[in-house]
Amino acid sequence: MSTLATRARLRRSVAPWLLLTPALVLLAILLLWPLVRVFLLSLQDYRLRNLIRGEDNWIGLANYATILSDGFLWQTVLPNTVGFAVVCVVVTILVGLVVALFLNSLSTTWRYLCTTAIMVAWAVPAITGTYVFVWLFDPLNGLVANTLGHLGIMEPGSWNWFTDRWAFYGIATLNVVYHGFPFIAVTLLAGVMIVPQELYEAAALDGAGAWRRFRHVTLPAIRPILAVCVILSTIWDFKVFTQIYLMPGGDGTNRSVMNLGVWSYTESFSQGMYGMGSAIAVLLTLLLLAISVAYMRTLMKEEEL
């Protein structure tokens, strides 16, 4: 009898893994092996000649030592990457949350119309959106420069937005937030809409105002969804590439605006140093993993309190 029970328990424990096996194999092929391959390349002085000849050139952790001892990483690339990502995540979440609350206050018809309108921004490809912002801030013929010229604030062509590090990332932030907030807003809207109205009514009877109802009712209810949005935004914004690379100077010609993604790309494909570029990509992946794990642990500790 015990043997039959053991076999039954074994079948129940194995069955889910058998069902997941095809998906796990596919993920391993599409995600795990490329990661392993990038890590192996990062341990080599792998250049174009090695790619053509099919030869390896193992140098161990020399690429990592070179990168971590380079002042350019600590003074320019890392501050650009981390600072830009933090600002984008915070602003995107705040804008998305405000828009979600606004959409929730509308009637059903207007909610559908407004949701459809903002999703157009999310549907626009990053390449198209970036070129739109490049046109808007063109120093000579852009809409912003011409508007400021008509107002007598600044003569068109007198200043290039894209050569200044702060202005460059200010424009990139507008671009990323504009493209990212619709997804956050719609996701948070789904969470806000399932909060029971009885909780709001009870809070109102206790004398709670709009802010206290949001803080003590809405925010705790949508915290799991908000956590997912923060993690996704963090991953997306730390690895932003297109919005930086396609802006004037963002392709590596202006080194003061480089982030980890662009630095990895230029080292690999512009300089032909694939091992160095792979090492930078591995560091970016480890940075993302560390931030995600730290955030999840903090969130789990808050749930336990």
Model-level pTM? 0.83
The per-residue pLDDT for 2 is 58
The per-residue pLDDT for 4 is 64
Contact residues for 133 (Cβ-Cβ < 8 A; gap 6+):
171, 174, 175, 178, 247
The per-residue pLDDT for 20 is 75
Using CA atoms, how far apart are residues 197 and 191, in angstroms rounded to an integer?
A: 13
Using CA atoms, how far apart are residues 137 and 148, in angstroms rounded to an integer?
A: 11
Return averaged pLDDT per consecutive 10 residues of the chain, 305 residues in all.
65 73 78 85 86 83 92 92 93 93 88 87 86 90 86 82 91 92 91 81 75 80 86 87 91 90 89 89 88 74 56
The per-residue pLDDT for 302 is 56
Using CA atoms, how far apart are residues 113 and 102, in angstroms rounded to an integer?
A: 13
Structure tokens at 277: 């570029």
Of 105, 39, 76, whose CA–CA distance to 274 is shortest? Answer: 39
CA dihedral 214, 179, 249, 156 (to 10 degrees): -90
